[in-house]
Amino acid sequence: MLKYVARRILQIIPTLLGVSFLSFSLLYIFPGDPAEIILTITSGSEPSYEEIQKFRAEMGLDRPIIVQYIDWLSKAIRGDFGNSWTEGKPVMDLILQRLPASAELFFMTFAISISFAMLLGIVSAIYKDRAIDHFCRIFSLLGISIPSFWLGLILIWIFSVQLHLLPAFGYGGFEHLILPVLTWSFSFMAIKTRFVRSCLLEALSQDYVITARAKGLPKRIVVLRHALRNALIPIITYFSLSISHLIVGSIMVEVVFSWPGLGSLLVESVFKRDFPVVQALIFISGVLFVVINLVVDILYAIIDPRIRYGD
Amino acid sequence: MEFAFVSEVFRSKILKNDLCTIGFGIILFIAMLGLFAPIIADDPYKTNLAERLEPPSIEHLFGTDQLGRDLFSRVVYGARTSLFVAMTISLISMAIGCLIGAVSGYFGGIIDDIIGRIIDVFLAIPELVFNIALVGIFCVAYGVSTWNVILAVVITNWVSYARIMRGIVLSLKEKEFVLCAKAIGAKDSYILLKHVIPNAIGPIIVLATLNMGNVIMTIASLGFLGLGIQPPTPEWGQILNSGKNYITMAPWITFFPGLFIALSVLGFNLLGEGLRDVLEKRTLEY
């Protein structure tokens, strides 16, 4: 077991290094001199030659790229992403300020989506090719095809402009949460419903299901006790991985509803050319994905010995 | 594959599948709109401030926008923009992705390890986040242009092709018919042409179809954020973006472009799923 965990941790190190290098190197795709670009963006005017030289030495931009990368990485690991170019505050402060709003939106959506996805997916698989299955499949196809920003605006038009029932945008009480959560859940649940359905259908086609049915167990029991239990492994993995959407997973929804979360922070920062914030958000979301992946793998190795010996 | 065979498969299998037929019909409809835009629609750039924000009527089927431009014409020309940009992105990423994936799977060893890690890194970072950051940086570095959007999306989009292609090549390498061909001294180019390409073409077509839907959605999302294809070129996401400020007075500016985004993404998803049923006979359904 320890060997398995150690091997998995070693495996993710190159990926983490890759994610960090990619986020770091974003600033170096610029064709120009980074010192000049940073000064132009922060001061808003053309810097002089002396200013550029001074700034370059101050920020250590004259060192070799690899040294700068190691320096950046060692700070990033401790949560220090430098200062924002436009706000003057540490990047981490800006992110922590926006995190609660994103978390609130995400966990509401997550809770609603996975409950409905389980329900619809199971019903759909049990009644495969019947009317209710077709309904669920059409519903989930629409969920992945309808742009969330369009759905959001349509809901705003219906519930805020026409019916005056709910606020169109902003952050505050429970009534502000309803439309964004509804909008995001529609697409969030669509993909998950399809996944639950296909996992359960796969499990239902196994021999032990036929055996259980053959010995006379009612279909309901076979589905819930035998098939669903086995289907749960991939389903829970898939659900857990979507927790990485917590960081900037809802960009379009946040922008439509002016929700002050990390998604709108990303878009605002791109417009303000505040690239340290963009760097930090890419780094954090990538690392979160890799780490959640690792945790889920290790948990499964503990639960299911087939995984740790089979690999 | 000869043309007669392809058209036979098309008629006997693909058109018999409901999903394929509906999806294909939708795509054909949108493509025709784009192709015959100059015949169907008026000038999408002609402003008329006397007719600002007019509701849909016989004269202006979808109404007019904030500059008095005919929204129907802008939406129809928008089909051109979306399909053209999405096809460019898909073809470039397909070429790059298939090549990288094939090289990785075929040579194995250290090359495969490195490419595999790179693919993992790209899978870890949410695509749209990376696209937004890249477009932002390209705008600063190279100025605003449609090529920024194409480049930014290609940078994240090749990965799915590389992954599929790598898997196909890895599994083919073990197959007896490939080992036999090698044993009797067939050249790599022969194996590629006679074994790899015919086996890869099905899954790649399915992926490319589903991917077209994703790319159209990404272009529209970037457009909606104001980071995509810039006005006055008509693009659905960007029309929606300008419409959101007029949602109380002129909801039609929001409604129609969104409907066309949803319709085209739906078309590609339906066709892709149908093709998967036809081309890859799998027990596992999605």
Give per-residue pLDDT as tens, A216-248. Answer: 888 888 888 888 888 888 898 888 888 888 877
Percentage of chain A modeled with pLDDT above 90: 44
SS3 string, chain A, reads CHHHHHHHHHHHHHHHHHHHHHHHHHHHCCCCCHHHHHHHHHHCCCCCHHHHHHHHHHHCCCCCHHHHHHHHHHHHHCCCCCECCCCCCEHHHHHHHHHHHHHHHHHHHHHHHHHHHHHHHHHHHHCCCCHHHHHHHHHHHHHHHCCHHHHHHHHHHHHHHHCCCCCCCCCCCHHHHHHHHHHHHHHHHHHHHHHHHHHHHHHHCCHHHHHHHHCCCCHHHHHHHHHHHHHHHHHHHHHHHHHHHHCCCCHHHHHHCCCCCHHHHHHHHHHHCCHHHHHHHHHHHHHHHHHHHHHHHHHHHHHCHHHHHHC
pLDDT over threshold 60, residue B1: no
DSSP letters, B225-267, are: HT-SSPTTS--HHHHHHHHGGGTTT-THHHHHHHHHHHHHHHH
Instruction: Looking at the complex, report in whole angstroms how far the Cα of residue B194 sits from the nearest Cα belonging to chain A.
Output: 33
Q: What is the CA radius of gyration of chain A?
A: 24
Least confident range from A75-79, B72-76, B179-183: namely B179-183
Least confident of A289-303, B148-162, B223-237: A289-303
Question: A147, B220: Cβ pair inside 8 Å?
Answer: yes
Cβ–Cβ of B126/A285 closer than 8 Å? yes
At B22-43, the pLDDT tens digits run 999 999 999 999 999 999 888 8
Q: How far apart are CA B9 and CA A225, in angstroms?
A: 42
Cβ atoms A87, A42 nearer than 8 A: no
Instruction: Report whether pLDDT(A94) > 90.
Output: yes
B259: which chain A residues are within 8 Å (Cβ-Cβ)? 150
Q: Is B14 on the interface with A (CB under 8 A)?
A: no
A184 has pLDDT over 90: yes
Note the pLDDT of residue B3. 63
Q: A31 contacts in B (CB within 8 Å)?
A: 141-142
Residue B181: predicted pLDDT: 86
Interface touch B224/A252, C-beta < 8 Å: yes
Token duo for residue B90: 């898909």
Residue A23 has pLDDT above 60, yes or no: yes
Residue A206: exposure state from Cβ atoms within 10 A (0-12, 13-18, ≥19): middle
Residues from chain A that touch B254, judged by Cβ atoms under 8 A, are 150, 153-154, 157
Q: What mean pLDDT do residues B181-197 have?
A: 84
Torsion of CA B113, B119, B125, B130, to 10 degrees: 130
Between A88-92, B79-83, B123-127, B279-283, the lowest mean confidence (pLDDT) is in B279-283
pLDDT at position B286: 35
Cβ-defined contact of A145 to B213 (cutoff 8 Å):
yes
pLDDT band at A309 (very low <50, low <70, confident <90, very high): low
Indicate the angle between helix axes B252-279 and B236-243, nearest 10 degrees.
150
Contact assignment for A270 to B251 by CB distance below 8 Å: no
Is the pLDDT at B225 greater than 90? The verdict is yes
Rounded Cα distance, B48 and B20, in Å: 42
Q: What is the mean pLDDT of residues A196-201?
A: 91
Q: What b/e sequence results for A132-158 when a residue is b if at least 16 CB atoms lie within 10 Å of its CB, and e otherwise? A: ebeebbebbbbbbbbbbbbbbbbbbbe
Q: What is the mean predicted confidence (pLDDT) over A58-66?
A: 80
Confirm if A8 and A298 have CB atoms less than 8 A apart: yes
Q: B124 and A202: CB-CB below 8 Å?
A: no
For A15, name the nearest residue in chain B, comparing CA atoms only: B121
**pLDDT value, residue B6:** 67
Cα B273 to chain center, whole Å? Answer: 15
Nearest chain B Cα to A202, which residue? B284
B5 vs chain A: nearest CA distance in angstroms? 31
Distance CA A116, CA A110 (A): 10
CB-count exposure of residue A311 (10 Å: 0-12, 13-18, 19+): exposed
Mean pLDDT calculated for residue range B154-167: 94
Identify how many contiguous H helices and E strands chain B contains and give both numbers: 12, 0
Q: Which residues of A touch B121 (CB under 8 A)?
A: 15, 18-19, 22, 286
Q: What is the DSSP string of B163-182?
A: HHHHHHHHHHHHSHHHHHHH
| Helix (H/G/I), strand (E/B), else coil: B22 | helix
| Per-residue model confidence as pLDDT tens digits over B75-109 | 999 999 999 999 999 999 999 999 999 999 988 88
Amino acid identity for residue A311 in this structure = D
A74 pLDDT band, cuts 50/70/90, is: very high
Residue of B224, B230, B235, B277 to mutate, testing the A interface (most A Cβ within 10 Å of its Cβ): B224
Between positions 127 and 146 of B, the ones with CB within 8 A of A are: 128-130, 132-138, 140-142
Q: Is the pLDDT of residue B283 over 60?
A: no
Q: What ipTM describes this predicted complex?
A: 0.89
Interface touch B217/A147, C-beta < 8 Å: yes
What are the φ/ψ torsions at residue B224 (nearest 5 degrees)? -65, -35
Q: What is the mean pLDDT of chain A?
A: 88
Q: What percent of chain B has pLDDT over 70?
A: 94
In this predicted structure, what is the pLDDT of residue B255?
Answer: 95
pLDDT of residue A237: 85
Which span out of A24-28, B99-103, B135-139 was modeled with the highest average pLDDT?
B99-103
Q: Assess whether pLDDT exceeds 60 at residue B69.
A: yes
Mean pLDDT highest for which of B36-45, B50-59, B136-145, B261-270? B261-270
The conformation of residue B54, written as its DSSP 8-state character, comes to P
Question: Does pLDDT of A311 surpass 70?
Answer: no
CB contact under 8 A, B121 and A30: no
pLDDT at position A223: 84
| Cβ contact B126–A244 (<8 Å) | yes
Mean per-residue pLDDT over chain B, rounded: 88
Residue A3 has pLDDT above 90, yes or no: no
Q: Do B121 and A286 touch (CB under 8 A)?
A: yes
The reported pLDDT for the residue numbered B284 is 39
Query: Is there a contact between A153 and B247 if contact means CB atoms under 8 Å apart?
Result: yes
Predicted TM-score (pTM) of the model is 0.91
At A38 the pLDDT is 79
Give me the amino acid identity at A276: P
How many Å apart are CA A126 and CA B60, to the nearest integer?
Answer: 48
Q: Which residues contact A12 (CB under 8 A, 6 or more apart)?
A: A290, A291, A293, A294
Structure tokens at B58: 């016989």
Q: A198 and B285: CB-CB below 8 Å?
A: yes
Residue B11 has a CB neighbour count (10 Å cut-off) of: 10
Residues of A within 8 A of B226 (CB-CB) are 271
Nearest CA in chain A to B227: A271
Of A22, A255, A256, the CB nearest to B121: A22
Most confident of A137-141, A198-202, A252-256: A252-256
Query: pLDDT > 90: what percent of chain B?
Result: 55
Tens digits of per-residue pLDDT, B237-252?
A: 999 999 999 998 899 9
Model confidence pLDDT, tens digit, residues A275-284: 899 999 999 9
Residues of chain B positioned with their CB less than 8 A from the CB of A144: 265, 269
